[in-house]
Structures are given as C-alpha cells and as structure tokens.
Amino acid sequence: MTAGQSPRDQRVTPTSPSRPAPATDGRSPNPSRPRPEEPRPYPRPSREELAAAADKTIPDLIAVGLGVLFVGINPGLWSAATGWHFARPGNRFWPALHRGGFTPRLLHPSEQDQLPALGLGITNMVARASARADELTAVELVDGARQLTDKVARYRPRWVAVVGVTAYRIGFARPKAGFGPQPEQLADARLWVLPNPSGLNAHYTPQTLGAAFAELHAATIE
C-alpha cells in the first residue's frame, strides 16, 4: 500500500481452480520501478549545466596493460556534465558493449569504473567536450591522434578500438580506412575501427552495433 491510498476491502475473492492466484510479496506492482536488470535512470543535467560543460574535459578510464582501450571522438556535453563516458541518453555505446560480449550485463555509465577489472578502458581523441563531434577541427583531430599514440605507447593496451571512422580517417590521415581491423598498429597495439554509437548515427541499429562490437570481441579472444 502506497502513501495516500486507502486500504482495500479485505474480503477474499474466490479464484478459479484452473487458474490459481499468483504469489505476491504483499506489495502492489509499481510499473515505474526499473527492472533489476535495467540500468538506473540518469540524473538529467539542467540546461545551464549542459551549457557550462562545453570545452570541459573528463578523466580517462585507463590502466596499464588493458585488453581493449576504446577511443571516443570527444566527450559530449552530457559526459562533461556528469563525468561519465558516453553518458547521453540515446548513445548506444553501453548497450553495444554488452551485446558484443564485453560486459556480463548492461552497465549504466555511472558504473564505468567496473571496466578496468574487465580489461577495458576509455579515452578520447580530443579531450574537450562539445555538443556535436562535427564541431571539432581537423587540426584538433590530428593533434589528438598524436597524443593518443603517445598514450598507447605509455599504457600498452593489446587492442585500440577507435569509435568513429571519420575521426580516425582525419586524425590518422587514412582517408580510405574502413571498419574492422586496420593493417597498421598504434605503437605496439593492434588497431580496430568501430562505428560511432551516437544516436545521431542512423546507419546503425542497436543490433548491428552490437554485432560490430562482437566482431572485435571475437578477435580479442583468438
């Protein structure tokens, strides 16, 4: 019984012998309550907080010797406001990570600190936050690629997965690069390019993004 409700009539209602009454824990169903396997709701930043998040940076999620270091293009305003990578509702990174087999369950962005224990990390090609990735300049992407190369040499992940083929093509001067494994390495790490999981990328569904992440996962365990 919730606050403000009157007790129901306590009369017993007979049930059909062929359809026994379901077991209950005494609480009324609450359709607004998230299911246990669903991620928790986002705390929505205000419009003012999102505006103030422009050009901010967020810390890398990184450690030495990771299995896969995922590389976003740059943080969005939601990420800069919350401190969580790929935090904007509608971004498919976390569902794709789970569908691809990298996490045992769907993680909420606030649970990102669980990734290093799974051998996973997250960084960005460009550190500053913006509302859209296309606000970045080619100079920023090229400079970000150089910094990423130094970072990979320092932290030595086995695989580097760049999440966004356009940013990869510009930053690394590979105009014809496609998705999947790349012929070159980054420092000593093997290199893979994934589709951008942003909700603005209408070319990919959650299912096809999950399949793309699953291809990388299969390669990492060969």
> What is the mean predicted confidence (pLDDT) over 158-180?
98
- The pLDDT of residue 35: 43
CB-based contacts of 217, cutoff 8 Å, min separation 6: 100, 101, 102
> What is the mean predicted confidence (pLDDT) over 137-147?
98
Does 61-220 carry CATH code 3.40.470.10? yes
Q: pLDDT of 52-66, one tens digit each?
A: 999 999 999 999 999
Segment among 21-35, 79-93, 170-184 with least mean pLDDT: 21-35
Distance CA 67, CA 155 (A): 11
- The pLDDT of residue 200: 83
Q: Is the pLDDT of residue 39 over 60?
A: no
Segment among 25-29, 101-105, 186-190 with least mean pLDDT: 25-29
Distance CA 125, CA 119 (A): 20
Q: pLDDT of 69-102, one tens digit each?
A: 999 999 999 999 999 999 999 999 999 999 999 9
> What is the mean predicted confidence (pLDDT) over 145-159?
98
Report DSSP state, residue 114. G
